[in-house]
Amino acid sequence: MNPLRRRAAAAAAALAAAAVLTATGTQAHSSPAHPSPAHSSPGHAPLGRAAVADPAVADSGARVQRLWAVDGDEQLVPAGQQVPVRLKVRAVDGDRHPVPGATVHFSTPGPGLKFPDGGDDADTVTDADGYALAPALSAVGAPGPDLVTAAVGERAQVAFEITIVQ
């Protein structure tokens, strides 16, 4: 998919997630109204499919019903610096039990934040307790608010707000 289109789709998803989170007064989770495969990128499996061929891992992602923001939301970071707290999420099933082995896709649709490889996307796998830690982010853009989304499949998504300051 065209990188601009992918960015626009990711930004729209982040804004929709932020609207749901604002409306519900929580940052625990959100569920996109109209899931879209537009969140995939070259070199990454589309959301909802594991990046590896192991059926147990693919099954783990399918079991995830909620994604909880654990650490890293509402941070301030000076331009040119690394974000102080790495983003951390927890994947749970419908009974709120942790889901190990699920691939979490982190995406920075705005221009201000980048992962260590300079990219906008990073995948991590949940541990035995359902936790996933994003790679470190750096503030490379202009001052202002930016969003990072984390998603597992098409049902579980959460957004983090990070503000770049001068």
Q: What is the pLDDT of residues 25-78, one digit of tens each?
A: 334 333 333 333 333 333 333 333 333 334 444 457 889 999 999 999 999 999
pTM for the whole thing? Answer: 0.67
Rounded to whole angstroms, the Cα distance separating 51 from 65 reads 19
| Residue 155 scores a pLDDT above 90 | no
Distance of CA 114 to the CA centre of its chain: 13
Hey, what long-range contacts does 116-119 have (CB within 8 A, 24 or more apart)? none
pLDDT at 59: 57
Which whole-number Å values give the CA distances from 18 to 29, 61, 80, 166, in the listed order?
10, 22, 25, 24
